Amino acid sequence: MIRRILYSFLLLLACKLTYAQQPAPNANLLLWDDKPATAWMTEAYPMGNGRVGGMVFGGVTEEHIQFNEISLWTGDEKETGAYQAFGDLFISLKGTGQPENYRRQLDLSRATQQITYTDKGINFKREYFCSFPAKVMVLRFTADRKGAYNGIIKLNDAHKSVVEPADMGMRFSGKLENGLAYYAGLQVKTEGSGYMVVGPDGKGGTQINIKDADSFTIILSAATDYSNQRASKWRGEAPEGKVKQVLAAAAKQNYQQLLADHLADYQKLFSRVAIDLGKGDAKTAALPTYQRIINYKKTPDAQLESLLFQFGRYLLISSSRKGGLPANLQGLWNESNNPPWRSDYHSNINIQMNYWLAEPTNLAECHFPYLDYINSMREVKKDNTKEQYPGVRGWTVKTENNIFGGESFLWNTPGSAWYVQDIWEHYAFTRDKAYLKNFGYAIIKEIVEFWDDHLKKRPDGTLVAPDGWSPEHGPHEDGVTYDQEIIYDLFTNYIEAADVLGVDKPYRDHVADMRAHLLKPKIGKWGQLQEWETDRDDQQDKHRHASHLFALHPGRQISISTTPDLAKAARVSLEARGDESTGWSMAWKMNFWARLHDGDHAYRILNNFITLVGGSGVDYNEGGGIYANLFCAHPPFQIDGNFGYVAGVAEMLLQSQTGTLELLPALPKAWQTGSIKGLRARGGFEISDMQWKAGKLTRLVIKSTTGGDCKLRLPNVLKYGGKAIGKQYSLKTKPGGVYTFSN
């Protein structure tokens, strides 16, 4: 008896502790709304585990979660196809439909969504998340009164197959026109007094009735038989077995375990970076997110700026996880079987922009889906490339790409060379030599070989890329600046890779010689950086692509310290292009201005970016901004702008592309006081802490992961080891060493 009392007491204590351990949500990391979403694109909140993702509407009597799985694609090696919607989950619940205190929120610190409301005196609470370790979506419904839940759960296949009963739940499956097999299944567990019944829906399908349940949990998973192996014809394990296994394993765990595993996994990545760009007033911070975006035009709200930064990191963790496919034009969220631009992998800015944030904001693991994707494409792209350019080695790509190597629109000849930048950058940030040797180097080299064979030699020895096109305007001709600059970047990355590994010296020297002979960027008649070899740039041209500035960002051929004249010309071009544009284009411009060390101009664009855009707008040339759910508006929604924004903020605070760590290189006046923890720099360095006050750097902690010299350019004098040091400082570091500077 005494034992039992003691046991109950301990159990109570344990529950109390778990409850107490749950930190209060950090208001700076919340998106929230005071009403359910009515529109998928602009209001629903996304969640995902890199494979399965959902858009949550949060309705009270009718919940709707539209879901996706990242490999559900039509098309093949020849046809581009399109990324597909997977299905919908509808949960109709009995209630008055007139709830009080409604709130739905997305908590970025936990990657969970909560929906709370009171109906007839009963407090209802839902919590949703997508777990990477458990590979499932988890939806939990609770209330503070017994038997509060009565309702119906329905599942819908976006390709119209019939939903059938399954073990404790429902399932559907089918094949797309390309033969890709898919399967989705869910299980429902009720808790306490109620029960659930799986039965016919009266229309030939299946539904689940929930009766008098105290609470219930739905776990859902979906898969296809896609494999990223061309050798197995892009098909692998059948989806049914995979989903059943995942569901069975998840069903064995209770909700708290599933949640704890999810939090441990997610927070390991997310919490590496903390940002504070200044505090707004508390009243503003407490407003629903859409209201904050509206207010932003009148009242400064630095916390909204940092929220958008962390939201981008949340999106990458949710749509790009090791073992999966890269984030596409919409990450992995897509409700249409005919989405804008196929929701594909565009190679002339978009997929690259999706990954600009990965290394600098300490999400190197999330970079791998893209790097693995590039690797998986090699053989099929070699065949495609040979058809177009007989006799060449290596490979390149067209602009629109799917997951089977199929492609469409025009050849984007430097596309694969731009891919190489990411292959190289993963090494540059991590200094992981084994990765470079065993994975990266061969890819870099074969793409160099493509250009070795494809470049055209003029009688004076100048090398030009034949028949190029500056995205997406102007004539098709030789020596387009976009092509030339990306090839320069490719050759530079190759040369450095060969040097690091100490291999292929003769070929490395040949590539250095080719690089020396490349046609270089030129300054034109109005002081601009020429987009073409012929000086024909139009000062009125507002085109969203500013691809001839690649060398400034994300390239490193032009910088204000190494090539000041070209940097000045880039500035002239950028000024002429103007500040307003589409979503991703504005994000790119933030990065350009940051590289020009003009923080106030970068901030002006950041300001334009944070503009609430209405729902129906479609404009591929201008009108970018964000929606109420913080998704970036091209318009319509395109995720590259969200990711490019994060990279832009990071570039304003830290740069390392020239081999020197530049601290606060483009700090705007608006961010006089702030801090950031956890950014990464090339050379294997982590800025564990950086704080500034009144525009001056006051504290800097650098962690060296692999040792070596760390060159610094500081915005002001700091003390190191008790002594004042100048703005240029070179630090000798040891692997694992931590170095603290203060004022």
**Which residues sit at the interface with ligand FUC, rule CB under 6 A?**
329, 341, 346, 348, 350, 472, 544-545, 582, 584, 620, 634, 638
Residue 437 burial (CB count, 10 A): 15
Any residues with CB less than 8 A from the CB of 346 and at least 6 apart, and which?
329, 399, 400, 401
Tokens of 238: 């059948």
672 in Cβ contact with 666 (< 8 Å):
no
Q: Of 126 and 545, which has the nearer Cβ to ligand FUC?
A: 545
Name the burial class of residue 590, with classes exposed (0-12), middle (13-18) and buried (19+) by CB atoms within 10 angstroms of its CB: buried
Residue 31 CB, shortest distance to ligand FUC, in Å, is 24
Residue where the block lists tokens 């962390």: 310
323 near 58, Cβ under 8 Å?
Answer: no
The least distance separating ligand FUC from the CB of residue 345, rounded to whole angstroms, comes to 10
In the chain, the amino acid numbered 303 is Q
Q: Which is nearer to ligand FUC, 530 or 638 (CB)?
A: 638
Closest separation in Å from C-beta 575 to ligand FUC: 21
Contact present, 712 and 705 (Cβ < 8 Å): no
The residue (of 109 and 348) whose beta carbon lies closer to ligand FUC is: 348
Backbone angles phi, psi at 646, to 5 degrees: -60, -45
Question: d(Cα 566, Cα 572) in Å, to the nearest integer?
Answer: 10
Cβ-based nearer residue to ligand FUC, 267 or 611: 611
Taking the complex as a whole, the smallest distance from the CB of residue 583 to ligand FUC amounts, in Å, to 8
Comparing CB distances to ligand FUC, the nearer of 131 and 582 is 582
CA distance 719 to 343: 50
Residue nearer to ligand FUC on the CB measure, 161 or 350: 350
Taking the C-alpha atoms of residue 366 and residue 711, their distance in angstroms, rounded to an integer, is 27
Q: Cβ distance 128 to 135 under 8 Å?
A: no
The bridge status of strand 87-93 relative to strand 62-69 is: antiparallel
Please report how close the Cβ of residue 100 comes to ligand FUC at its closest, in angstroms: 43
DSSP 3-state assignment of 319?
Answer: helix
Q: How far is the CB of 596 from ligand FUC (least distance, A)?
A: 23
Beta bridge partners of 156: 88
Residue number, 28 or 638, with CB nearest to ligand FUC: 638
Q: How far is the CB of 434 from ligand FUC (least distance, A)?
A: 35
Query: Rounded to the nearest whole angstrom, what is the least distance from the CB of residue 422 to ligand FUC in the complex?
Result: 18
Q: Which is nearer to ligand FUC, 346 or 680 (CB)?
A: 346
**Residue closer to ligand FUC (CB basis): 59 or 312:** 312
Going by C-alpha positions, the residue among 513, 344, 482 that lies closest to residue 417 is: 482
* Residue 158 Cβ vs ligand FUC, minimum distance, rounded to whole Å: 22
Q: Nearest 5°: phi and psi at 272?
A: -65, -25
Cis amide leading into 636 (omega within 30): yes
